[in-house]
Structure formats: structure tokens, C-alpha cells
Amino acid sequence: MRNIRLGSLLGIPILVNPTWFLLLAYVVSVLGFQVFPDQFEDENVGTYVVLSVGTALFFFFCIILHELAHSAVARLYQIPVKSITLFVFGGVAQITREAKRPLAELLMAAAGPAMSAVLAGIFFFLTWLVGRDADDPLDFTLFWLGITNLALAIFNMIPAFPMDGGRVFRSLLWLITRNQFRATLIAGWTGRLFGWALMALGALTLFGLDFAGTQQWTGVWTVLIGLFLESAARQSLAQNRAINVLNGFSVKELMQPDPPVVLGDAPVGLLARGVLDINPIVCYMVESGGKLAGILSGWQMRQVPEAQWDTTTAAEAMVPSARLHPVGPERRAADVLMEMEDGDLTHLPVVEDGRVLGVIGRDRMIMALRQAGMLRTAGT
């Protein structure tokens, strides 16, 4: 399902995933059938519709501001933010990679709930300013937005990774133990436990056990959120294991030494035909005027449709060296993988004392993970 672009804030695209309309419908129906009719009896249907849709949209704008706060801190630490997306479980900022230091992660994670708390404060202040008349729809709406933002700040601070509170928890463990792997392991398992607890709570609600007057069917929602959190935590733990494996390798150990050098005007067909079948992770250094002009890997060649193989040159299909930065042979593979994700790259040249020793690619790292029993043979 394709995301819909709403616009952008601080240069960050704001997207809506089609699944978000489910959440919008849920929030509007809770407001329109329950919250507002309970508070203001005997209003006409039109009033309920306007109030609930308006309040729901304001609420989602607050969620975007929450994500924007995460994104702003990420940018302060030079971590690119691709977009902010509203989806069925709320909002998410696509922050390209994790922070390299615990303090950065702490601030990045805490910024969202802090923003929600500030918004709650603003809405409570506005409620007080307009007089806090519970019979007045505007007063009540402002108060409701205050309570909801406060609840959002509190819920997000539950120390279940990868929720905000779980990230804060991990960064604190990381600060204390100085061991990112162990910190993620503990926070990740806390996240899985919390996911299971939510699923159990949802199931109990669904079977009629009453929690604070919630309706039975809302149990479905709780189970789904629990499932989502549990699987996100499980993925984080898998990623953590992968990083740990790659931390055991230097770039030199995984690089392809002395890759074949080709000229920029060589057609892709000549370099790809027959070769990609035998060696899908083939990688060429493209030279022009005696200098490294770029890197052409199997991945880039496969981006060119086969019908255009003979009319496209290596120089046209390669990743130009202006986009690449050299890495040293002793660097940790896990760090280099992070840098590749940052720049959307698949390969980087390995250089020592100005001499190109080889090329390191994501494919080689995936092979290392596979050998460590981390991945099944099918995959990227």
C-alpha cells in the first residue's frame, strides 16, 4: 500500500499510510459515539461529527509534532530523517540509523514524550484560560486534548523497547554498562515481555474481564498493539545479534581484495552478461583517466533493464566516487554497514595510505551473517 504525502514540516515529508484511516475511524468513533455524547447530551448529529473529526485531526497533528521532536534531535546529531508517517498504530519517524552514543539516543528518544508533555501543558493552560466550563464544547475539547497528550507521554515512557521509554531505558543501561549489545538485549526482552503482557490483557478484556470500564471489543486493539510491539522487539533483538556478529569482523576480513578494474565507457552488457549468473555479488572498480571514478556492483547492474545493457556504460550505471567515502581496513564491519545505510550505499572502497585495497559490500556482510547461522539462505 502506497503512502500518501500530506506535505512537509522542517523539510521532512509527512506521509499517511492507508492503514492510518482505520485508526482515524477508531478515534473518531470513540469520540463521536462515546466521549462527546456522554459529555453533551441531546446535541444534533452534525455537532458530534464536527467535534469528533476536528478533535481527532488535532490529536493526530499532536502526534506529528511528537515525531517531529524526535526528528529534530536526530538532525542535531546529523542523523538523516527520511519522513514522518502516520499509520495504524500511531506515528513513526523514519530515522535512518540508530545513535552512535547513548546520550544522543537518550535525548532523541525522550524528545517525543517531552513534546507530548509540553503539548498537554499548553492544552491545560488554554483550558484554564477559557474558563474550564465543562458544558462548553471548546473547553472540554481542549481539556480532552490535554489529557490525551499526557496519556501519550506516559504510555510512550513505558520501558519497553523499541518504544520511546524502552529506548531511554536502553540508553541508560548503555551509559552504565558501556555495552550496547547487552543493553539492547535487556531492553529488547523487556519489550517482548511487555508485548506479551498487552496481548494477555487484551485477551482478558475480550473475554469479558472488565478493566476500568473499557468495552470488550477494544481488547482486539490491545492484542494487536501487543503483537506489533512484540514483533518489533524481536526484530530489534535479531538486529542486535547481527551487529554483534559483524562487530567481530574487520573490514579487511570481509572485503573483496583487488576487485577487477574496468573503464568507464565499457557497456554494462559486457560486464554483466554471463557474469551475474555465476557471481551475483561481482563488483567492479570503474576507472577514468587513471583515477577511481566509481563502483559498479551486481546490484547496480541489475537496476539497468537487460534491454538497455548494451547502450548503458559502466560510468552511467555506477555509483560515482563523489558519493563514496573511503574506509580503513581495520574499521569494524558493523560501523561501516551503518554508514552504508546512512548514505543508501551498497559498497565502499577500502583504502589505506591512498592505495585502494579492495571493496566492502553489504552482500559480503550478509554472507558473514549467514555463515554465523543468522540468516536463512533466501534473502536480499
Catalytic residue chosen out of the listed positions 43, 67, 287, 352: 67
Q: Tell which one of 105, 139, 164, 363 touches Zn ion (CB under 5 A).
A: 164
CB 188 to Zn ion: min, Å = 17
Q: Which of residues 6-65 bind Zn ion (CB under 5 A)?
A: none
98 part of the interface to Zn ion, by CB under 5 A: no
Q: Are 271 and 284 in contact (CB under 8 A)?
A: yes
3-state secondary structure of 58: helix
Q: Residue ranges of the alpha helices (H) in 131-211?
A: 137-156, 164-177, 180-206
112 binds Zn ion (CB under 5 A): yes
Q: By rule CB under 5 A, what count of residues binds Zn ion?
A: 2
Q: What is the closest distance, in whole angstroms, from the C-beta atom of residue 24 to Zn ion in the complex?
A: 19
Mask for 113-152, x = binds Zn ion (CB under 5 A) = ----------------------------------------
Alpha-carbon distances of 312 from 163, 265, 305, rounded to whole Å: 46, 9, 10
Q: In whole angstroms, how far apart are CA 254 and each of 105, 174, 336, 343, 362?
A: 29, 28, 11, 20, 10
CA distance 255 to 267: 25
Q: Quick one: which segment of 36-44, 106-114, 169-177, 309-317 binds Zn ion (CB under 5 A)?
A: 106-114
| Interface with Zn ion in residues 196-255 (CB under 5 A) | none
Range in contact with Zn ion (rule: CB under 5 A) among 13-21, 36-44, 164-172, 244-252: 164-172
DSSP secondary structure string for all residues of 198-234: HHHHHHHHHTT--STT--TTHHHHHHHHHHHHHHHHH
Verify whether residue 67 is a known catalytic residue.
yes
Please report, as a single letter, which amino acid is at residue 337.
L
Q: Which range in 38-46, 163-171, 288-296, 313-321 contacts Zn ion by CB under 5 A?
A: 163-171
Active site residues: 67
Binding site for Zn ion (CB under 5 A): 112, 164
